[in-house]
Amino acid sequence: MTDDSIRHARSRALGRRGWLVLLTLCGATFMTGLDYSVVTVALPEIGRSLGFAGTGSLQWVATACLLPTASLLPLFGRVSDIVGRRRLFILGVVLFGGFSLVAAAANGPAPLIAARAGQGASAAMITPTAVALMTAAFPEGPRRTRALGVNGAVLSLGFVLGTLGGGIITSGLNWRWTMLFLAAISGLVLLGTKTLPRGTGTRAAARLDVPGAVLASIGLFALAYGISTGADAGWASPPTLGSFSLAVLCLGAFLLAERRHPAPLIPLGLLNRPTVKWGGLVGFVTLGMCGGTTVLLSLYMQDVLGYSPLATGAGFLAEGVAALVAGLLAARLITALGRGRAMSLGLAVQGIGTGAMALLPAAGGLPLLLATSGAMGFGHVLTVVSFITAMTSGLRDDEQGTAGGLSQLPQFLGGIGTAGLAAIVTARTGALSSTTDPIHATLGGLHAATLAAGVICLAATALPLLLRPAPLGSIAAARRASTHRASS
């Protein structure tokens, strides 16, 4: 090896302590990703076990966790910059484990939904601080990109293993073991927090923007509520329209309030940075289209091919393996291509894989299913790692928590993509139902939606051109020179 290649390899090496820190933070990411998928698979058994009235009430087991996470991310992202990320991260992990135990012991719908809401609030503490701790622990450049790549792969792997593991656990044991499993993981993550440096970032010397926090939380809650319940209640129904109207009013008022507040919850200068603004939009596209297409693939495997829930979970293994490979290769690809080009490449691969799903047949076709879902998973994770790297680059230490929250927000608002694709499926299936049998009508709707998702991803490949690279050296030097560190 040449001297340059040796130096480059060392610049990418995480080291023993670095790997321990990364495993701890990725464990938390895995836990929150696993939570959503493992519970989704267990919903039918939960409904039978606890006597839920119907599908409409049962969906609150998932929604009760999603709503507080989506609405509280900006708040806790900023709080972590003020009170210390390590402290808030540990609190979130403890609460998540505790609420998981409460959920496992629930004897009725109300206690379970309350515990799920607590899990969601705890996840809102964990997800932005995990990203901020990661960016503080690994200097900007190849090491941070590699760490974010591993984190992105673990998040996708958590979803896939949750889908598969949820079927195995609920089939062999019962749904309560899914909650106990989450509590056990939180215990392991809590042990791992001993490896986290006690000084991880400069605290923001500012008071909390309470009006901004209230407006942002209510606005995001209303938006997420409308997205989550619109399909069942009707997109033109008064509750849905009321939710979206409240979201627009509160988020508009939030932007006006942030202009006047001396220490805003989300500084508009940060929000207007090209890497944050356009990177977040790329994240919204890739997460919305991948999440929505994953739901469509589940419908395809069960309603068209007739797979069991367990076989459906296994059908996502190609997506999970490809996502893992993408996460491991992301640092090299981003270093070679740059963040913008890597983002465009990821969106292109995701778009081609998703669009090709329009060729999936009514019977057989397993190789095509594995190939297209694998391409989607690879491109998606490469895009995710690239946009999070872009959004968290070139920032001061006291902005990392806020940026970490913003980088995770598209994940929880990606339900807009799922709702849009579901509307396409419904419209196209209805149009075909009078001319063909139900299976082929459903397949036609799925084909139209996956083709639309592929076109949207391909169109979004132009967005990364709007990103301007941030200087690395001066920011990294300033970060290393920081002397005021957050204590535990």
pLDDT, tens digit, for every residue of 141-178? 777 777 877 777 777 677 667 766 666 666 667 788 88
**Range with the largest mean pLDDT of 78-82, 287-291, 406-410:** 287-291
Look at residue 441 and tell me if it is in a domain: yes
Could you tell me what percent of the chain has a pLDDT over 70?
84
351 and 220 in a common domain: no
CA triplet 472, 477, 480: central angle to 5 degrees? 125
214 and 81 in a common domain: no
Task: Answer yes or no: are the C-beta atoms of 120 and 66 closer than 8 Å.
Answer: yes
Q: Which residue segment(s) compose the domain that 453 sits in? A: 266-465
Please determine, for residue 48, whether its predicted confidence score (pLDDT) is greater than 90. no
Report pTM.
0.78
Give the contacts of 69 (CB within 8 A, at least 6 positions apart). Answer: 120, 121, 123, 124, 127, 412
Look at residue 399 and tell me if it is in a domain: yes
Look at residue 2 and tell me if it is in a domain: no
> What gap in Å lies between CA 140 and CA 4, rounded to an integer?
19
329 and 249 in a common domain: no
CA triplet 464, 346, 413: central angle to 5 degrees? 75
Task: Answer yes or no: are the C-beta atoms of 420 and 291 closer than 8 Å.
Answer: no
Mean pLDDT of all residues in 200-205: 51
395 φ/ψ angles, rounded to the nearest 5 degrees: -115, 160
CA triplet 137, 142, 147: central angle to 5 degrees? 50
Task: Answer yes or no: are the C-beta atoms of 147 and 22 closer than 8 Å.
Answer: yes
Supply the pLDDT for residue 15.
Answer: 66
217 and 278 in a common domain: no
Look at residue 149 and tell me if it is in a domain: no
122 and 25 in a common domain: yes
Look at residue 483 and tell me if it is in a domain: no
> What gap in Å lies between CA 192 and CA 389, rounded to an integer?
24
Look at residue 482 and tell me if it is in a domain: no
450 and 351 in a common domain: yes
Domain count, the chain: 3
Supply the pLDDT for residue 170.
Answer: 63
Crossing angle between the packed helical segments 142-172 and 176-192, to the nearest 10 degrees: 150
Residue for token pair 């090209």: 274
Mean pLDDT of all residues in 407-432: 81
Buried b or exposed e, range 327-354, using 16+ CB within 10 angstroms:
bebbbebbbebbbbbbbbbbbbbbbbbb
Task: Answer yes or no: are the C-beta atoms of 278 and 432 closer than 8 Å.
Answer: no
228 and 121 in a common domain: no
324 and 180 in a common domain: no
343: domain CATH number? 1.20.1250.20
Look at residue 474 and tell me if it is in a domain: no
327 and 248 in a common domain: no
179 and 227 in a common domain: no
Supply the pLDDT for residue 404.
Answer: 74
Query: What residue type is 162 in one-letter code?
Result: G
Q: Where residue 18 falls among pLDDT bands split at 50, 70, 90? A: confident
Please determine, for residue 251, whether its predicted confidence score (pLDDT) is greater than 80. yes
100 and 25 in a common domain: yes
Look at residue 202 and tell me if it is in a domain: no
36 and 110 in a common domain: yes
Q: Where residue 330 falls among pLDDT bands split at 50, 70, 90? A: confident
